[in-house]
Amino acid sequence: MSRPPRLTSSSPWDCSGGVFDWDVALRKLDELNARVEDPTLWDRPAEAQAVSRERAGLAARVEAVLVLENGLKDALEYAELADMEGDEALLEDARAQLKDLKERAGRAELEALLSGEADGNDCYVEINSGAGGTESCDWAGMLLRMYSRWANAHGMSVELVEETSGDQVGIKSATLLVKGANAYGWLKTEAGVHRLVRISPYDAAAKRHTSFASAWVYPVVDDTIEIEINPSDVRTDTYRASGAGGQHINKTDSAVRLTHIPTGIAVACQAGRSQHQNREEAWKMLRARLYEAELQKREAAQQALEDQKTDIGWGHQIRSYVLQPYQMVKDLRTNVETSDTQGVLDGDLDQFMGASLAQRVGATRDAQA
C-alpha cells in the first residue's frame, strides 16, 4: 500500500496515543493479523479479546484513511472532467463531494484523538435533574432525548436501563446504555452540569426560568478489565419498578439499586423483567462506575472526580443553553458557541464534543511534558 496524502497540515492521526505513522500502522496491523490467526491465542480468551479489539480499531483507522484517499482522488478527477466540459452542474456535484469528504475527514481526525484505554467501549449516560421541580425534570428529559438522537445519528444503539419519571413531566433521573464504536470516547466530555434558560411553558406568567440537570458518563467494563469489589462493601436495595411494563414488572420488587458504601457510588436498574436480570445489570454498572472513578484519578490534567459531581446548580455548569431572550448554546470550557439551539437539542453535538476532546488531550499532553 502506498502512503496516503496527509489530509491537513495539523492532523494528529493518533495511533495508540502517538502520531499516526502510516508505515508503522501497516506493520502493526500485519502483526495483529498474524496473532489473531494463531490458533493458540484463543487458548487465552482475555488476551484474544484484547488483541482482537486492538486489531479491529487499527483496521478501522487504516480503512478510514484509504476510503478518504480514494474518495478525494475520485472527486478531483470528477471535478477536472466537469471543468473540461464546462458543466456547472457537474462542478457543483464535485464541490458537494469534496465538502462531504472534508466533514468525514474532520470527524476521522477527531476520532484519532480517542486513544484512551476505554475510549472504544460502550458507555452508560446517567442524567439527573437538579433543584427546580417541574422545570428541571423537563430539562433532564430534553437532555435524555438529545443524547439519544446524537447516538442514533451516529449509528449507535440506545437502551434505557433505568428511568424515574418526574412528578408532572420529564424525568428525575435516567440511565442510557449507548452501544457503538467509540461511544465512551465521544460522550465522556459531556459529563457535567447543563444549564437551560427559557420562557417556561409551565408558567402562566410566561416568566424566564433557569434550570439545571447533570450528565454523568462512564464506560462499560468488558471482560478484559478486572474490577474487584468486596460484596460486604455493597448495599442492595430492591423496589417496585415504575413506568410502563409487563404484567410482572410493576407488581413485584424487581428493580435493584446497589450502593458502594466506601465511595457512595450508587446505581439502579429496572429495565429487566426480573430482579435477577436487574441485579446482574446493576453489578455491571457498578463495576463500570468504579472503573471510571479510577480512570479519573489517573488523569492529572482533568478535574478531580468530585469536582465534576458537585451540586447541580449555579457555578458548576459546563454548557449553557439559552433560548430566551436570545438563541445561543455555549460551552463554558472551550467557548465554542452556536445560535442553532434547535439543532443542538436535536443531537447536533459534534462541534462541542470535538473541541472538548481536543482540549482534554492537549491538557493531558501538557501535563505529561
Domain ranges of the chain: 14-111, 123-368
| Residue 186: burial class (beta carbons within 10 Å; 0-12, 13-18, 19+) | buried
Please compute the mean of the pLDDT values over residues 298-302 and round it to a whole number.
51
Query: In the prediction, which pLDDT does 19 show?
Result: 43
Instruction: Kindly state the percentage of the chain with pLDDT values over 90.
Output: 38
Query: 14-111: which CATH topology?
Result: Methane Monooxygenase Hydroxylase; Chain G, domain 1 (1.20.58)
The per-residue pLDDT for range 231-244, each reduced to its tens digit, is 899 999 988 776 55
Q: Which residue pairs, CB below 8 angstroms and at least 24 apart, start in 3-12?
A: 4/65, 4/66, 4/68, 4/69, 5/69, 5/72, 7/68, 7/105, 7/109, 8/105, 8/109, 11/109, 11/112, 12/109, 12/112, 12/113
- Nearest-angstrom CA–CA distance, 108 and 72: 14
The per-residue pLDDT for range 5-46, each reduced to its tens digit, is 232 323 333 433 344 577 888 899 999 999 999 989 988 887
Query: In the prediction, which pLDDT does 108 show?
Result: 76
Query: 123-368: which CATH topology?
Result: Alpha-Beta Plaits (3.30.70)
Query: In the prediction, which pLDDT does 268 show?
Result: 92
Q: 357 is written with which cell numbers?
A: 476532546
The per-residue pLDDT for range 315-368, each reduced to its tens digit, is 568 999 999 989 999 999 999 999 999 999 999 999 999 899 888 766 655 555
The per-residue pLDDT for range 197-216, each reduced to its tens digit, is 999 888 878 788 899 999 99
Query: In the prediction, which pLDDT does 138 show?
Result: 95
Is the model more confident about 113 or about 173? 173
**Residue 4 reports pLDDT greater than 80:** no
Is the model more confident about 249 or about 121? 121
Query: In the prediction, which pLDDT does 319 show?
Result: 96
Query: In the prediction, which pLDDT does 315 show?
Result: 54
Query: In the prediction, which pLDDT does 348 show?
Result: 95
Query: In the prediction, which pLDDT does 110 show?
Result: 73
**Residue 59 reports pLDDT greater than 90:** no
CB 327 within 8 A of CB 341: yes
Residue 252 binned pLDDT confidence (cut-offs 50, 70, 90): low
Query: In the prediction, which pLDDT does 193 show?
Result: 94
